[in-house]
A and B are shown apart, each in its own frame.
Chain A
Amino acid sequence: MLAIAMAMAAALTTACKPPPPSRHDPDAAAVARGRELVRQTGCGACHAFPDIAWPQGRAGPSLVTFDEHGPIAGVLPNTPANLAAFVRDAPVAKPGSPMPAMPLSPREASDVAAYLHGLADD
């Protein structure tokens, strides 16, 4: 009996793949790492963020209301994967983007995406 239950539990946990990361419920640890990366990389040189007092650059769009943004840079579906690809290498993700490639590893870029999706200005 116990063996059957354990087998079933094992089957259940392996059968269900974890859901793809969602923009609506980013991982809190990733959000915190992403915020630190945003500060260290100097994203504020072009963008304003609601919880970063300085710098608040004006070269790029303000991200204070990012939680209300639609498609990334107006064209890409606003998914964590797309956002991570865009913040790391915007000219490849969206040809013609004036935003340059940024010094982030793919893992760091997904942390930054989690931070951005976790932003709420209200």
Chain B
Amino acid sequence: MIDAADAFDVWWGWPPPVLDPAGPYAHSVTVLAWALFALGVIVTAIVALAVFVAVAGPPRWKARLGGEKAILILGVGFPAVVLTGLLVWGLTLTASLTDPITGREPRIRVTAHMWWWDVEYLDAAGRVVRRDANELHLPVGRPVVLELGSADVIHSFWVPNLSGKEDMIPGRTNLLKVQADRPGRFGGICAEYCGGPHALMGYVTVAHLPADYDRWLAGGNVSSGPANPQHVPGAMPASARRTPAGQGTADPKAAPQDGEALFVAHGCAACHRVAGTQANGLAGPDLTHVGSRLTLGAGILPNNRGTLQGWITDAQALKPGNRMPAYGNIPAADIAAIALWLEAQE
């Protein structure tokens, strides 16, 4: 039995941080939620008091409670005023969540797959400047427009700290504005049942200071904060060094420690793309920047050498039903070399 608390504990804790807004689109909803809760408490108290008076109150109070005036005030006037006020508040708030897109916001296209997320950062002309997966980087303090779509079934995008849920529907692009007002890491999860390992379909949103974000988008490496660093002791073995594009050998016997050649030879490249190499598959997550990601398996495992080897060897044991087969047939030394090479793909 897989408990979502185990899967996401490292990033979120459980339950999801719905009452800890980190941006305006989540904050207004949280305020409304607390207001509704407080009103509910007040109304329940009034009703309980009225029941008490009706059953055990003095006769004079009972008569007043049953009078026409009390019914008009408490039964008609009070609900009409409160409910109308809430309706206006709720509708204007909902409208503000989808306030007009100016076209100047950074755009990120997020496409859901069973059971991972394809993430493309677009420039002003709509060209893809950086492609990544299972991780969403945002600049702090400005709204970002997400183009949400799906490659297969209906999924739902949800970062509790930043916004409400937004469906991701095949054949349709839903726009969602999000904004983070403080740097940090915010967990996300698929919020619409999408089959099999739906509960293990997550991601991490990383909000950077604007300068850091620009550096990150340009391909630079930016520390995403001190929490849970996955630092491996010792120097990286030479086999982990990235081979310049086009210099890798495709024959694994010629260079048994060449992770790139092994990655291609064992067929990983049929599903995964690593920019600048022969690996050009599109069925699985893009691994061009896998070494810099915080998680593996779509937000469910910390990313380090050990979890990477464990995932490649038997992803089905970790995320049953996902579309990556178990590769127990590949020699452990080859998997270790592939993992080392992937770790260097930042």
Contacts and interface: CB of A to CB of B under 8 A. Distances in A.
A107 interface: no
Q: In this complex, which of A53, A56, A59 has the most chain B Cβ atoms within 10 angstroms of its Cβ? A: A59
Nearest to B305: A100
B314 A57 contact: yes
A39 B284 CA distance: 26
B186 to A, nearest CB: 18
Interface string A54-66: 1111111000000
Interface of A: 39-43, 45-46, 52-60, 88-89, 92, 98-105
Interface of B: 1-3, 6-7, 9-10, 228-234, 296, 300-302, 304-307, 309-311, 313-314, 317-318, 326, 328, 332-333, 335-336, 339-340
A88 B307 CA distance: 14
Would you call the interface of chain A mostly helix, strand, loop, or mixed? Answer: loop
B309 A55 contact: no
Contacts of A40: 10, 228, 302
B232 A53 contact: no
Contacts of A105: 233
B311 A45 contact: yes
A43 B306 contact: yes
B317 A58 contact: yes
B6 A102 contact: no
B305 A101 contact: yes
A42 B302 contact: yes
Contacts of A55: 6-7, 300-301, 317-318
Would you call the interface of chain B mostly helix, strand, loop, or mixed? Answer: mixed
B213 to A, nearest CB: 26
Contact of A102 (B296, B304, B313): B304
Contacts of B231: 103
B6 A53 contact: yes
Given A58-B314, A89-B233, A98-B333, A45 B306 contact: yes
A60 B314 CA distance: 10
B234 A42 contact: no
A100 B306 contact: yes
A102 B232 contact: yes
Contacts of A88: 233
Nearest to B343: A100
Nearest to A88: B233
Contacts of B232: 100-103
Contact of B313 (A46, A89, A92, A104): A46
Q: In this complex, which of A55, A56, A92 has the most chain B Cβ atoms within 10 angstroms of its Cβ? A: A55
B324 to A, nearest CB: 13
Contacts of A100: 232, 305-306, 309, 336, 339-340
A88 B300 CA distance: 22
